[in-house]
Structure 1
Amino acid sequence: MIFRQLFDPTSSTYTYLLGDGGEAVLIDPVYEQVPRDLALVRELGLRLLASLDTHVHADHVTGAWRLHQSCGSGIALAAAAGAELADRPLRHGDRIQFGSRYLEVRATPGHTSGCLTFVLDDQSMAFTGDSLLIRGCGRTDFQGGSPQELFASVRGQILTLPDNCLLYPAHDYRGITVTSVAEERRFNPRLGGDVDEGDFAGHMNNLNLPHPKMIAVAVPANLRCGQPEGGTEPPDTPAWAPLTLRFSGVWEIEPMALLEHADQVQIVDVREAPEFIDRLGHLRGARLVPLSQLMFKLDEFDRERPIVAVCRSGVRSAQASVLLTKAGFKQVANLAGGMLRWKTEALPVAQDVV
């Protein structure tokens, strides 16, 4: 089975990818991170069957609808959430199949009225959303939350799993990635040890927390499964050429596509001068700027025109692409495979002296 834990630094949200037999599901995707998630799915050779939300989030917008638009994946979350556009409303006891594996759906209301926990078939891991966090839990003061319900949910549906079951929450604000049933039973200050329902309710009813900053935007959007108002979204791929986003975050252009768009872009070759005129040659119209000098020559490039970075294999030029993007260039791509790939495909080169 393939398992990946992904992170959105803005909302401190964890997204989880599980795959088996060429099929995959994503748990708690974030709208802005959809291009990243789809790049990983493609690179791992998976087909995304569905996105699963543990609840209607108040601190970020789900990527469920955007994923559906991009690859046709299903949208699944609790029937109790009452969200529009969900094509698979989930209830306690449902199973979500992917390849030869499945997730069991457990209703764990209390943080919100529509919270779910997803438990892997062998009970080796569970995805608890905000119902149970690492040494904590989600708040219970809005969206139908209830400390009494949350106490019963966590104690009855999550902490009854085997001691060695790994628990993966929807958030952690300290960078901690995983816990276990045994740890939370023993060390969770709100829900572990000898804490009873009265202790827990008394604590939760006196947190006096401000509402999440995104709540006015996130909740209405998530009740539409992440669909923007008006039903439109920004394109996932830049329009100036056919590009592919790699999981590293770098946009790549295939050699033939660059050949077709060469007159419309700036080409910067970031190799050293001797490489520029070696047996691989260089691209016609390319400008030699070694990677070590790139940041000192940014003013020499047109920020309004796309720019493609090139090197021998695509490694140095990938770094150049990152540097150019961080420097504010909006249309940047790396030549996939570099000059080695270009030469292999027998595309035209220049070999004039610098």
Structure 2
Amino acid sequence: MIFRQLFDSTSSTYTYLLADEEALEALLIDPVFAQVQRDLALIDELGLRLRLVIDTHAHADHVTAAWVLRRETGCDIASARAIDASNVTLPLDDGQICGVEGVQLRCIATPGHTDGCMSFVTADESRVFTGDTLLIRGCGRSDFQQGSASRLYASITERLFSLPDSCRVYPAHDYQGRNVSSIGEEKHFNARVGAGANETDFVEYMNAMKLPHPKLIDEAVPANLRSGAPEDGELPNRPDWGDIRLTYSGVPEIDEEWLELHLDSVTVLDVRLPDEVRDCPLAQTLVDVHIPLAELRDRLNDVPTGKPVVALCRSGRRSSLAVSILRDAGYEQVASLSRGLRAMLQDG
């Protein structure tokens, strides 16, 4: 079996590609809207045909790529029937078998993080894709989307922990750089439900967490209940001059790795305040033009037109607005540095 674990650093989401080496039919689990071009490029390079996209649940931290992948490839969209998401072509029930030629998955209803969570285990029970139900040394929260700590405890201990100890666990997220665990490991070492924790231990732990409201829930959940389809049913055209990722709101972004390799072929526009520029020597080596965001509309003539423009700021928020201003003014080849200079400095 062809197997790839892909990662979206913005949402810390894992996307999984599975395909049969002979049939060359592929499925994706938990694809991310912003990574559509990456996923399609990999599928093309491996000579595969995408037949199925599966969402483990209605995510609250990113928008699924299911709808746009169906539009691009004609693949089916699958998720739990309990979610009742629109645009789904294959609603799934507990115990159902789904997949593509050569790759079969058994659906396991594992509610608790949300009401519609589902895990997927391979036919030989060597791998299980647990969504947010079971994470590496943790689990998903249970305080929104009909979540229930008691149901989550039952889903983990009665459904997932009944799989062989050797079964490898592949979650939808990890925030510490870990990429795989096993059922046996989580039984012994999971910080919330392992080492013999009973339901009272678990429920009291979960209820005491008091986590902040997910930042993107108001945008992501309604979109994911449409399988990722925008409200108007249309996507903006994707630019092709660089390794562009479109946010769900249509802002083209580019990452720091691409920028560092292509500095000579773009104009770098810094839209921070003058004091910020002086305090950041790194930016001075990257930037071609400095125009504070508040002045940009009045100084558009100061932005060169001969090369694509990459706008940057501290976090990527101001530069996204700069991109919108430039596009409204007729600049077609323009993008925002996705995580800003702060991420570049953190990454060294």
Establish whether TM, by shorter chain, passes 0.5.
yes
2:185 alignment partner in structure 1? 183
Q: Which residue of 2 aligns with 1:146?
A: 148
Does the C-alpha gap of structure 1 residues 331 and 189 become closer, same or farther in structure 2, counting only changes over 3 Å? closer
Cα deviation, 1:22-46, whole Å, max 9, x if unaligned, reads 1000000000101100000000011
Moved more, 30-39 or 190-199: 190-199
AA of the residue aligned to 2:45: E
Letter in 1 for 2:10: T
1:14 corresponds to:
14
Distance in 1 (alpha carbons) for counterparts of 2:103 and 2:178: 27
| Residue segments in structure 1 that go unaligned for 5+ positions in a row | 241-248, 251-266, 269-294, 308-328, 333-354
Secondary structure at the residue paired with 1:149?
helix
Specify the SS of the correspondent of 1:159.
helix
**2:105 counterpart of 1:103:** yes
Residue 162, structure 1, aligned to residue 145, structure 2: no
1:29-68, aligned counterparts within 5 Å? 29-68=31-70
CA-based RMSD of the aligned residues comes to 2.7
Aligned-pair CA distance for 1:139 = 0.4
Q: Which amino acid counterpart does residue 55 of structure 2 have in structure 1?
A: D
Q: Does the Cα contact within 8 Å between 1:303 and 1:330 map onto a contact in 2? A: no
Distance 1:103 1:305, change over 3 A: same
Paired amino acid for 2:15 = T
Q: 1:158 to 1:303 in 2, by over 3 A?
A: farther
**Identical residues among aligned pairs (%):** 52
AA at the equivalent of 1:16: Y
Q: Deviations over 1:228-274 (max 9, x none)?
A: 1111112245399xxxxxxxx98xxxxxxxxxxxxxxxx98xxxxxx
Counterpart in 2 of 1:86? 88
Q: Is the 8 A contact 2:117 2:131 kept in 1?
A: yes
The residue aligned with 1:261 is: none
Q: Which entry has the higher C-alpha Rg, 1 or 2? A: 1
Partner residue, 1:326: none
Summarize the Cα distance change of 1:296–1:105 in structure 2 as closer, same or farther, 3 Å threshold: closer
Contact kept, 8 Å, 1:305 with 1:331, in 2: the verdict is no
Equivalent AA in structure 2 for residue 229 of structure 1 = E
Residues 296 and 210 (structure 1 numbering): CA distance in 2 closer, same or farther, change over 3 Å? Answer: closer
TM-score of the aligned structures, taking structure 2 as reference length: 0.70
Distance in 1 (CA, whole Å) between partners of 2:36 and 2:215 is 22
Relative distance call for 1:194 and 1:18 in structure 2 (3 A) is same
1:167-246 to structure 2, matched below 5 A, reads 167-236=169-238, 238=240
In the other structure, the counterpart of 1:262 is none
CA contact (8 A) 1:35 1:236 kept: no
Deviation at 1:296, TM superposition (A): 9.8
Instruction: Output the CA distance in 2 between the equivalents of 1:59 and 1:11.
Output: 6
Alpha-carbon distance in 2 for matches of 1:306, 1:59: 30
Distance 2:235 2:91 in 1: 24
User: What is the 5 A alignment of 1:127-138?
Assistant: 127-138=129-140
Residue pair 2:138, 2:192 contacting (<8 A) in 1 also: yes
TM-score (norm 1): 0.69
Residue identity in the other structure for 1:74: D
Q: Residue 12 of structure 2 contacts residue 173 of structure 2 at CA under 8 Å; is this kept in 1?
A: yes
Extract unaligned runs of 5+ from structure 2.
243-256, 259-263, 266-284, 290-302, 310-331, 336-348
Any conservation in 1 of the 2:163–2:183 contact (CA below 8 Å)? Answer: yes
Equivalent pair of 1:77/1:88 in contact (CA under 8 Å): yes
Cα offset, 1:192, TM superposition: 1.1
CA distance in 1, matches of 2:238, 2:184: 42
Q: CA deviation at 1:160?
A: 1.1
Give the length in aligned residue pairs: 261
8 Å Cα contact 1:51-1:64 kept in structure 2: yes
Give the equivalent residue in structure 2 for 1:119.
121
User: AA paired with 1:83?
Assistant: A
Query: Does 1:75 pair with 2:71?
Result: no
Q: CA separation of 1:236/1:102 partners in 2, compared to 1, >3 Å: closer, same or farther? A: farther
Shift of 1:303: 4.4
Question: CA–CA distance in 1 between the matches of 2:174 and 2:64?
Answer: 17
The alpha-carbon distance between structure 1 residues 207 and 331, as it changes in their structure 2 partners (threshold 3 A), is: closer
SS in 2 for 1:211: coil
Q: Distance between the aligned counterparts of 2:305 and 2:18, measured in 1?
A: 40
Partner of 1:3: 3
Aligned partner letter, 2:184: A
| Alpha-carbon distance between aligned partners in 2 of 1:84 and 1:305, rounded to the nearest angstrom | 41
Distance in 1 separating the partners of 2:287 and 2:81:
56
Structure 1 residue 149, shift from structure 2 partner: 0.6
Does the aligned pair in 1 maintain the 2:133–2:140 contact within 8 Å?
A: yes
